A = this chain, B = another copy of it.
Amino acid sequence: MNLKDLAASLGLSQTTVSRALNGYPEVSEATRKRVREAARVHGYRPDSRARSLATGKAMCIGLVLPISAKQEIVNPVFADFVAGAGETLSARGYDIMLSLVNEEDQSSVYRSMLKKGRVDGLIMQAPLTGDERIALLQDVGLPFVVHGRVSDHDDTYSWMDIDNRHAFHRATDHLLDLGHRRIALLNGIEAMDFAHRRRDGFLDAIASRGFRADENLMASAAMTEIYGYEAAGRMLDLPEPPTAFLASSLLVGMGAHRAIEARGQRMGHDISVVIHDDGLSYLPNGSDNVPIFTATHSPVRDAGHICADMLLRLIQNPKIGPIQTKLEASLRLGPSSGPAPNQ
């Protein structure tokens, strides 16, 4: 059942039916009611392609999920982020188009996304340091929002990010305040911009107290539990082991915890651990009241909401220009951090 048929069955023109359905004032309430009822009965839904072609709006935004190589890691944060963004978008009638991108053909994916008229704008995830995708997207001319930032780039694009540098600075300060001097950083892949910033915050905090960071106490890899376990284990076996760990994710923290326990030590007493908590729904840091880890906390689902909201504003009025949102992560104390043991 298309518009033409529906109009015919009602003895009306397509124009009138279309207007009745879309709430235009040029049609009497009586007719509108009649049209709505007929549409309901026949189960009529406008074809979104035709409508999109006619209006120029796709009512759809693009989301790119970067997949490096075949076997590489899918961003665990993705599901919650998309859930957040999706809630906001679907409430406003927008759909989400997903594109998997492997490094090689990034350019073509972004280009085709817009050119093909499928989406009105897009959200870019997981920017790398000096990511050239920003330029690509600007060239393309479609509204976009970056979840994260790119360090080596001026601020002429829209982004939303948490203050990773500050968050890790504070977390490091917290450990320093507790008397820890040998603090280890279990970071994510430092090509990722957020990891880069976290490292900076960590180093700053240490340097600003006049200490020096130990290269042996800094690791960087994809944020899995096993990485946390192995990296922490290796460091604990050093002649001068760390007394505290700063881990880039809950999973990494869990790995560190396992390494600590495996050596007969207790987290929060012998060795402290502070993590960053993305607030993933399927990976809660204990309960709200009883956390497992002391953590810098910023739910990625909220980030999804915010990114989507920003993008919609940008689509509605592109002239408002680049907009930025910086979120502060809260520092939540848990039982995993305590005073440094006396030497």
Residues of A within 8 A of B (CB): 43, 45-50, 52-53, 58, 60, 63, 65, 67, 70-76, 78-80, 82-83, 86-87, 90, 95-100, 111-112, 115-118, 222-226, 251, 254, 257-258, 261, 280-284, 286-287, 292
Contacts and interface: CB of A to CB of B under 8 A. Distances in A.
B111 A83 contact: no
Contacts of A226: 284, 286-287, 292
Contact of A58 (B49, B63, B95): B49
Nearest to A113: B95
18 contacts: A48-B118, A49-B50, A49-B58, A65-B83, A73-B281, A74-B79, A75-B282, A76-B76, A78-B79, A86-B98, A86-B99, A86-B100, A90-B100, A95-B99, A96-B100, A97-B97, A226-B287, A251-B283
A83 B73 CA distance: 10
B251 A63 contact: no
A101 to B, nearest CB: 9
Question: Interface SS of chain A: helix, strand, loop or mixed?
Answer: mixed
Contacts of A45: 111-112, 115-116
B224 A282 contact: yes
Contacts of A79: 65, 74-76, 78-79
Given A74-B282, A100-B87, A117 B49 contact: yes
A83 B100 contact: yes
A302 to B, nearest CB: 12
Count chain B CB atoms within 10 A of each CB in A49, A60, A96, A118 and give the residue with the most: A49
Nearest to A60: B97
Q: Which of A58, A87, A223, A226 has the most CB of B within 10 A?
A: A226
A47 B98 CA distance: 18
A83 B74 contact: yes
Contact of A50 (B47, B53, B292): B53
A276 B276 CA distance: 27
Contacts of A292: 226
B225 A283 contact: yes
A287 B251 CA distance: 16
Given A79-B79, A95-B99, A116 B282 contact: no
